[in-house]
Structure 1
Amino acid sequence: MIIAVVMAASAGATLHPPAGYQQAPQHHAASRFTCPAFPAPFTGALDFTSKYEGSDSARATLNPQADRAFHQQTKSITGLEKVVSQVVAGFAHDGNPARAECVVNGLDLWARAGALTTVAKNHTGKSMRKWALATLASSWLQLKFSPAHPLEGQQEKVADIEHWLSHLADLTVADWRDLPLKRVNNHSYWAAWAIMATAVVTDRRDLFDQSLAMYRTAANQVDNAGFLPNELRREQRTFSYHNYAIQPLVMIALFARSNGVEVTSENNKALQRLANRVLSGFDNPDVFTRKTGIPQDIAFTRQASSLAWLEGWCALEECGPEVKQRIAALRPLHSTRLGGDLSWLFAPH
């Protein structure tokens, strides 16, 4: 009831991101910058090889040959994500307007080509579309809401790009909504994050509400012990996928709070239970081993990008000294699909 009242009160307000997306660049120097080459727009069928091809239903055993094929097939898409994320992160630090112009020109080529809008013929195709959208929309937010106004004077291209992102969001909604619960897992949560970021870019309340609905489905999947049943099927990667699943949920909760909607209370503070479960695994993953009966792959815990969500989590909830120390040792924490430099966006300066 409280959530419904807050939503009603804010329904007419313009959507906006958390404050970190609206801070001025650290410097205002036209530092030397050469715009990197953007990959050619991907306009083919979204039909890609799964890196787990040949695996059983757990989808936990990597197929090296299929993985190589996947990376080759998706090279232009991941290349676009990388260049946009890196250039926008650079703008946050030096404020060079040439960086914004670089991103606008590069994305305008993809927008005018209708890239990524073809039929997604398989699960991996749908996944690539929503991952790309998550990166592009969350990076674009930093240019759109910057008090330096780096997009001024490029209105026509900006309109084309935002229309394209909006279209990608509609396709992402169609790809991932109304799935049976047994198939709703981390992929749906990442789709919801892509939709949320685009909702704020385009000020579309319908996308905002769709993302919240998907978030609530996720929250209702968290059990009393903080586990996600559909991620428990991932055998040796169960812990890894719990860590992966929470990342977009934290971002959605942050964006919801910034727009007057508090979702952290959903399902008796489900997000906090999930976070506590994942955090406990960093020091001792045995709880996941006992739950699955399989020793866990913990390689991801040594990858800073896999832990970047902690910056968002500590902006959402008060973190203890152990978590703060873990984050401080890893900064700056960067995650391309969560918005780039999360230390810049969420850590106290």
Structure 2
Amino acid sequence: MHTKRLMLPSLLSLAMLFAAGTTQAAGTLVPPQGYYAAIDKVKEKAGNFSCDAAPAPYTGALQFRSKYEGSDKSRSTFNATSDEAFKDATKSITSLERDISKVVMQYMRDGRPEQLDCALNLLTSWAKADALESTDFNHTGKSMRKWALGSMASSYLRLKFSDSHPLATRQQEAQIIEAWFSKLGTQVVSDWDNLPLDKTNNHSYWAAWAVMATSVATNRKDLFDWSVKEFRLAATQVDQDGFLPNELKRKQRALAYHNYALAPLAMIASFAQVNGVDLRPENNGALKRLGDQVLAGVKSPDAIASRSGESQDMTDLKADNKYAWLEPYCSLYSCAPDVLDRKHKMQPFKNPRLGGDVTKVYDPSHDKGDKGGT
């Protein structure tokens, strides 16, 4: 069991962030341009829409089993029994992530009032219940908290910043939701701050992405600074060949976890850039080096197999949506023609933990509409 108090970052912690050289854009924090998109076309009567019953707010202890329970230090051997227990215990949380992403995407497509009602009712019901705030948690539990926060906050940004101004007459609900996001953001910082380097891996990056999305949703510059600090720490972990030592430990799943780590890092860099902080030069272009290594590994995993000590399990890497990081990444860099061609063939990319339809945000001219689940 791991118990912590819900607390604001200390003055010393904030002072350290500023001393590290983090710069801030003046005024309001903003998302990348794609988040300002208006509703596609209002369809007040078109089609059927049913707002599924909101999953019950999760207010219990965040103590969950892991799908890698019983694995060695590599944490790469799947345990089907514990995974079933995990899925059963976290069903309401994963339903929340899926549902909020789905409904916000539907609203941004159709603009129907009942879709907006559905999204806001879902978030406010969890906010009013103080859901996901437990300080009784284990590693899997705090992981679920930051994933859920990232999913909710990044979906909410589509509503908050849309040129259609869907929240203009819903400010009471917006205040409730944003106050809750703010509390969760503070707790996620507490959960993941100042970990030893050998314990800082993709989980920390996903926590930093959740905090980045929350910082923009709530206009909290301290959260923005913490996310940038965590990105810079991640950049120092990328070696000269583009590998992450703590993901190499995942043995046969090393390439899959390098790929998985890219999504939050690319999103953070994209958000930082529009707020006046260019993270691309960190550690001599670490993010670009990591992306290049993963793309090379997908073509031929021999190099990463040699470094990790095992042949790579390529199962996860066969799914198009695993490459959603290419959208923010190719907005930061000039991707090679073959990479762009592959990206366009896989679009649209939909990932609830990145806020839904990532292609709609970063490359709307190539969004081909519905392509399965969210």
- The alignment's TM-score, normalised by the length of structure 1, stands at 0.96
Report the 3-state secondary structure (helix = DSSP H, G, I; strand = E; otherwise coil) of the residue aligned with 2:29. coil
2:54, 2:96 within 8 Å by CA — same for their partners in 1?
yes
State the partner residue of 1:176.
192
* Distance in 1 between residues matched to 2:171 and 2:351, nearest whole Å: 28
C-alpha distance after superposition, 1:18-66 (max 9, x if no partner): 0000011221222342212110000000000011000001000010101
Aligned partners of 1:286, 1:96: CA distance in 2, in Å?
Answer: 50
Once residues 22 and 303 of structure 2 are traced to their aligned partners in structure 1, the CA distance between those partners, rounded to angstroms, is: 38
Identity among equivalent positions (%) equals 50
Alpha-carbon distance between aligned partners in 2 of 1:188 and 1:220, rounded to the nearest angstrom: 14
Letter in 2 for 1:128: M
Indicate conservation of the 8 Å contact 1:100/1:151, yes or no.
no
What do the CA deviations read for 1:312-345 (whole angstroms, capped 9, x no partner)? 1111111111111211111111111011101101
Corresponding residue number in structure 1 for 2:8? none
- The answer to whether the 8 Å contact 2:22/2:228 transfers is no
Residue in 1 that maps onto 2:34? 20
Map 1:221-236 to 2 at 5 A. Answer: 221-236=237-252
Alignment check: 8 A CA contact 1:53 1:63 kept: yes
* Counterpart residue number, 1:206: 222
Preserved CA contact (<8 Å) 1:304 1:334: no
Question: Structure 2 CA distance, aligned partners of 1:93 and 1:265?
Answer: 37
TM-superposed CA distance for 1:300, in Å, is: 1.2
**2:116 matches 1:100:** yes
**2:107 matched to 1:91?**
yes
SS in 2 for 1:220: helix
Following superposition of structure 1 onto structure 2, how do residues 22-171 of structure 1 map, counting pairs within 5 Å? 22-30=36-44, 31=46, 32-171=48-187
Counterparts of 2:224 and 2:201 in 1: how far apart (Å)? Answer: 19
Contact 1:101 1:151 in 2 (8 A): no
Aligned residues: 345
Following superposition, the deviation at residue 286 of structure 1 comes to 1.4
Post-superposition CA distance 1:51-109 (Å, at most 9, x none) = 10000010000101011111111000000000000111112222223222211111111
Structure 2 partner of 1:262: 278
Paired letter, 2:256: S
Deviations 1:266-314 (A, max 9, x none): 0101001001001111211111111122010111121122111111111
Deviations 1:217-258 (A, max 9, x none): 000100000000111100100000000111100000000001
| RMSD of equivalent CA atoms | 1.4
**CA 1:119–1:4 in structure 2 vs 1: closer, same or farther (change >3 Å)?**
closer
Q: Tell me the CA shift for residue 6 of structure 1.
A: 8.5
Alignment CA distance shift 1:318-1:66 (3 Å): same
**Does structure 1 retain, via aligned residues, the 8 Å contact 2:124–2:177?**
yes
- Name the amino acid aligned to 1:18: P
Instruction: Evaluate the alpha carbon distance shift between residue 67 and residue 6 of structure 1 in structure 2; reply closer, same or farther with a 3 A threshold.
Output: closer
Q: State the partner residue of 1:341.
A: 357
Secondary structure of the residue that 1:87 maps to in structure 2?
Answer: helix
CA distance in 1, matches of 2:309, 2:56: 46
Letter of the structure 1 residue corresponding to residue 220 of structure 2:
R
Helix, strand or coil: the match of 1:279?
A: helix
Gap regions ≥5 residues in structure 2 = 1-18, 366-374
- Judged with a 3 Å threshold, the aligned counterparts in structure 2 of structure 1 residues 50 and 195 are, in CA distance, closer, same or farther, namely same
What SS does structure 2 have at the residue aligned with 1:230? helix
How far did residue 153 of structure 1 move? 2.0
State the shift of 1:264 in Å.
0.8
Using structure 2 for the length normalisation, give the TM-score.
0.90
Q: Which amino acid aligns with 1:16?
A: V
Give the one of 230, 248, 258 matched to 1:242.
258
